[in-house]
């Protein structure tokens, strides 16, 4: 049995926006919410800091903040009734569907297609 795991990383503009909003919420927390609401203000500021930190880690970390769709196959049972060709056809069809829907770029499509064909 094969399980498929798909991970999507947000685009660069989405990460920048989230980082800016997180920093803005931290500043609002420090200067407005903590003085007026005490313990709730501390909670607010900590949550905002987590948002800002996680987006900064994504943006400045490995991968550099570009939108990526990562498809990983986890094979649990190696006994497969269908031949390798039909499996490759299925994977190529799914890859084409992702490309047609605009979920992956042409470069990502070409790289993954070459990888699938190479494994034949």
* pLDDT tens readout for residues 84-114: 667 888 888 888 888 888 888 999 889 988 8
Range of the domain at 108: 2-9+67-118
Number of domains in the chain: 2
Look-up: residue for tokens 């607010």?
A: 44
For residue range 9-19, what is the model confidence (pLDDT) as tens digits?
677 788 888 88
Domain identity same for 76 and 95: yes
Domain identity same for 88 and 109: yes
- What are φ and ψ of residue 11, in 5° steps? -75, 165
For residue range 48-62, what is the model confidence (pLDDT) as tens digits?
999 889 888 877 876
Domain identity same for 84 and 51: no
Domain identity same for 71 and 111: yes
Would you call 22 exposed, middle or buried from its count of C-beta atoms within 10 A (0-12, 13-18, 19+)? buried
Residue 74 has pLDDT above 80, yes or no: no
Residue 82 has pLDDT above 60, yes or no: no
Domain identity same for 73 and 40: no
Domain identity same for 54 and 74: no
């Amino acid at each position: 049995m094969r399980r498929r795991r798909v991970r999507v990383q947000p685009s660069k503009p989405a990460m920048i926006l989230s980082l800016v909003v997180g920093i803005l919420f931290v500043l609002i927390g420090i200067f407005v919410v903590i003085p007026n609401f005490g313990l709730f203000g501390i909670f607010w500021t900590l949550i905002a800091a987590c948002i800002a930190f996680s987006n900064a880690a994504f943006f400045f970390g490995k991968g550099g903040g570009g939108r990526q769709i990562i498809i990983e196959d986890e094979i649990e049972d190696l006994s497969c009734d269908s031949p390798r060709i039909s499996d490759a056809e299925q994977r190529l069809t799914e890859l084409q569907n992702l490309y047609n829907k605009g979920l992956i770029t042409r470069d990502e499509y070409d790289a993954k297609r070459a990888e699938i064909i190479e494994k034949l």
